[in-house]
Amino acid sequence: MAIQDIYPTALRLLGRPVLVVGGGPVAARRAKGLLDAGASVTVVAPLACPALTGLSDAGHLAWEPRQYRGSDVDGAWFVQTATGDAAVDAQVAADAEAQRIWCVNASDHEASAAWTPAVAVVDDVRIAVNAGGDPRRAMALRDAVATALETGDLPLRRRRARPDATAGSVALVGGGPGDAGLITVRGRRLLGQADVVVADRLGPRELLNELAPDVRVIEVGKTPGHHPIPQSGINRILVDEALLGHRVVRLKGGDPYVLGRGGEEAEYCRQHGVDVEVVPGVTSAISVPAAAGIPVTHRGLAKGFSVVTGHEELSEVPARADHTVILLMGVGQLRHSAASLALAGLPAETPVGIVENGYLPNQRVTIGTLGTIADQAEAASVANPAVIVIGDVVRVSPFAPSHFKTADYSTTSPNAPRTPLTPSIAP
């Protein structure tokens, strides 16, 4: 068996005396790290860099402006050399060795009794990497591991309760339109730390398969006309689980504050003394049209947009093709919504696009006009989840039929129409 003469461990230096010999930037970095660990730091150096003098002036460490003496190591629990002079560093290391005090020799890592790893902190996890005495390699590995923890690619969830833990918490996480890659880094990280996940029907469902086996998933998904757990019950679940000391993630599709009742859930948690965090998500109102190449605004076509549900009155929405209307959960009321917009004055030839299952493998795009879209949707058996976009911006979609592209709305070649593209679904 190959022998590696390194035994990784972690020193608890809170309140313990530590000696740093040297006054340059390396000594300052090491002193700062030791102070962060709670050590009582003394620096010995004839001269000190501004970072060290600043720490000394603030009373965070003791600086003795003189040459090193052998007695300086007396009583120290740990010693760090960083003088830049190999002979002085070797002498300090030898004096520490004679007293069986662990010492990091910055001038000679092979002769050093201890190595300082590359360190990163994520939440309450401290990552320390040694790489055979190659500090740049160690830093690269440290950064890669830290990034994987930050993004939720590595498990960051606690397995033991913290001694100071009291009540749990709730995070309302917007999961985006459904593709697992569109959840935010913060949302992915919180999901990896969760003890309980309260999940909607929409959102990045495949991420649930990556949870540890002991993470409980409570399904509260709703479908049109079928709400097995009412909103009041969902609110109660969040609070009850948090009060048991659990980290709860409410995983929602899109953004929790865009027609997602996130505000109600956050308010209920706060009323019951539960810490709640809101993590915005990529709302389907904007992202799903983008999946079909439809911008909700576009120079020369639309400067603004309105987002409503298919169950809301549309009489207050601007009835102009240059103001984009986005309907969420609107398939069931599509015929009624189209009629309402037409009655308000929106022309029958206004382009309309429907994007089903945006960003998922079974995504489908149907494009027509305000006058034809209801019949098209019925003939194609269009179903939720779907986002309906009404307005001239639909002309930009690569799925739009060629005759939609006769208007001049090019932004790269003024006064010239865009090249017609073959539609995926003919009107």
Give the pLDDT confidence of 173-187 residue by residue, as tens digits: 999 988 888 999 899
32: pLDDT strictly greater than 80: yes
Residue of 220, 213, 266 lying closest to 242 (CA atoms): 266
Average pLDDT over residues 323-336: 92
216 contacts: CB under 8 Å, gap ≥ 6: 195, 196, 197
What is the secondary structure of 16-66 as a DSSP string?
-EEEEE--SHHHHHHHHHHHHTT-EEEEE-SS--HHHHHHHHTTSSEEE-S
Q: Before 155, cis peptide (omega within 30)?
A: no
Tell me which H or E stretch contains 334: helix 334-343
Q: Specify the range with the lowest mean pLDDT, choosing from 69-83, 240-254, 396-410, 413-427.
A: 413-427
Average pLDDT, the chain: 86
Q: Which of 64, 77, 92 is nearest to 15 (CA)?
A: 77
The type of residue at 299 is: R
Phi, psi of 15 (to 5 degrees): 75, 0
According to CATH, what is the number of the domain 286-406? 3.30.950.10
Rounded CA separation 239/200 (Å): 17
CA 368, CA 166: separation in Å to the nearest integer?
Answer: 56
Amino acid at 375: D
pLDDT for the residue 9:
83
pLDDT at 157 over 80: no
Only one residue has tokens 């309907």, namely 327
pLDDT in tens, 344-378: 899 999 999 999 999 888 999 999 999 999 999 99
Q: Regarding the domain delimited by 169-282, which CATH topology (the fold level of the hierarchy) does it fall under?
A: Cobalt-precorrin-4 Transmethylase; domain 1 (3.40.1010)
Question: Cβ distance 34 to 20 under 8 Å?
Answer: yes
Q: Is the pLDDT of residue 75 over 80?
A: yes
pLDDT tens per residue across span 263-293: 999 999 999 999 999 999 999 999 999 999 9
Known catalytic residues are 200, 222
pLDDT in tens, 41-61: 999 999 999 999 999 999 999
Question: What is the C-alpha separation between 149 and 414, in angstroms, rounded?
Answer: 47
| pLDDT tens digits along 369-398 | 999 999 999 999 999 889 999 999 999 999
Polymer length of the chain: 427
Q: Is residue 389 helix, strand or coil?
A: strand
Q: How far apart are CA 81 and CA 93, in angstroms?
A: 8
CA distances from 308 to 259, 270, 353, 387 (A): 8, 27, 15, 11
Of the chain, the percentage scoring pLDDT greater than 90 comes to 58
Beta bridge partners of 217: 197
Q: Which of 269-283, 287-301, 317-331, 393-407 has the lowest mean pLDDT?
A: 393-407
Instruction: For residues 87 and 97, give the distance between their C-alpha atoms in angstroms, rounded to a whole number.
Output: 15
Structure token pair of residue 258: 């865009």
3-state per-residue secondary structure call for 262-298:
HHHHHHHHHHCCCEEEEECCCCHHHHHHHHCCCCCCE
Structure tokens at 384: 């939720």
CA 355 to chain centre: 26
Angle subtended by helix axes 25-36 and 50-57, to nearest 10: 40
In CATH, the number for domain 17-116 is 3.40.50.720
Rounded Cα distance between 136 and 156, Å, is 25
Domain residue spans of the chain = 17-116, 118-150, 169-282, 286-406
Torsion of CA 67, 71, 77, 81, to 10 degrees: 30
